[in-house]
Amino acid sequence: MGQSKDTRDKVVLTGGHAATTAVAVVEEIRLADLNWKLTWIGVKNAIEGKKVVTLESEVLPRLGVEFLPITTGRIQRRFTAWTIPSILRLPIGFIQAFYYLLKIKPRVVLSFGGFASFPVVFNAKLLGIPVVIHEQTTAAGMSNLLSTRFASKIALSRSESKKYYPSGKYVVTGNPVMKEITKVKPKLKLGDPPVIFITGGSRGSQSINDALEKILKTLLSRYKLIHQTGGLDYLKFSDIKQKLPRALKDNYEVFVRVNPLEVYKIYQECDIVVARAGANTVSEIMTVKRPAILIPLPISYMDEQMKNAEIARDWGAAKIIPQKNLMPEILFKYIEDSIKDYSAVVGRIKQKESPDAGASRKLLVILKEYVK
């Protein structure tokens, strides 16, 4: 007997650096009990030239989302050994995206930006498939700007992004945050000892790690650290942990990266966050109302991470250390100051509503306009 045809409405998701946002939207779709088949089209490897897989390829299949890999390159803003091979792979991604879309025949494509999304968006337009773009940052991503002309609608996380996009196409929705994170309550009292979550994002930050290494023992004598290192530094810091005295070792947890489905547990435990200023990290900090020290990535497109950090600072949750000022003694001082200011900061923000409240639901309403 032949296999029965899948009659569910097909929706394609795509993007890069968007695991947590995608998970939040998938959760909302599942919660609404919609009969949709979800497919993610994206890259398998997170770092050029390294065998480090993307969070999307690891996490989304656990939620019942089909993952289809494309082999595509990116236009890099500085020349490296991987620049030319990356450019040469660009046509492959366009061919693969065309094939996948032709085979799936989705009702709509939802793009979260990133270099992997553009071949999918371009071919969706070519095939007459509606495209919804979600802009996570406070500025505008390069791929999203390139994709604007092919989009039916653009959902913005921040009203500050309006100036980059054509009026009439955009709506401000906020940035979707995973359900379990939205349930985390403010901590009104510091832990004993206080707990600091240090993260450079899913790929880690060697700049943050280098500054941390020089003050690690001093911090561990006062605080508990949960340190997400990224793939490049994990073995180094694991080795450092093993050589620590027992009292300090017990205060130190090291992860190569954190499963997005489990990160809410860290937010529940931690008092202070030290992090880059990616859009999703900033959204999560404002949702869980944890005081933060943000170190924006200086080479981000349109200085988007600094703009993201300024949103969190102006909202009342964050202090900012520019990358050029990131030295061990400055990081230490900011951590100490954040501990001293803890009650005042939490008191200021504990009743505030995050600008991302209800974002997943608003984005789902937009998708349902195309899946009827």
Distance CA 57, CA 260 (A): 12
- The token pair that represents 4 in the structure block: 């029965």
Residues 12 and 41 sit within 8 Å (Cβ to Cβ): yes
Residues 11 and 39 sit within 8 Å (Cβ to Cβ): yes
Pairing label, strands 292-294, 252-255: unpaired
Residue 159: in which H helix or E strand, if any? none
Pairing label, strands 195-199, 170-172: unpaired
Distance CA 278, CA 283 (A): 9
pLDDT tens readout for residues 233-283: 999 999 999 999 999 999 999 999 888 999 999 999 999 999 999 999 999
Residues 294 and 318 sit within 8 Å (Cβ to Cβ): yes
Is the preceding peptide bond at 193 cis, omega within 30 degrees of 0?
yes
Where is pLDDT greater, at 139 or 1? Answer: 139
Which letter does DSSP use for residue 3 in this model? P
pLDDT tens readout for residues 171-229: 999 999 999 999 999 999 999 999 999 999 878 899 999 999 999 999 999 999 999 99
Q: Decide if pLDDT at 109 tops 70.
A: yes
- Count Cβ atoms below 10 Å from residue 128 Cβ, excluding itself: 6
C-alpha 28, offset from chain centre:
17
Where is pLDDT greater, at 105 or 90? Answer: 105
Q: Scanning the structure block, which residue is given the tokens 């989705």?
A: 106
pTM listed for this prediction: 0.91
- Count Cβ atoms below 10 Å from residue 242 Cβ, excluding itself: 9
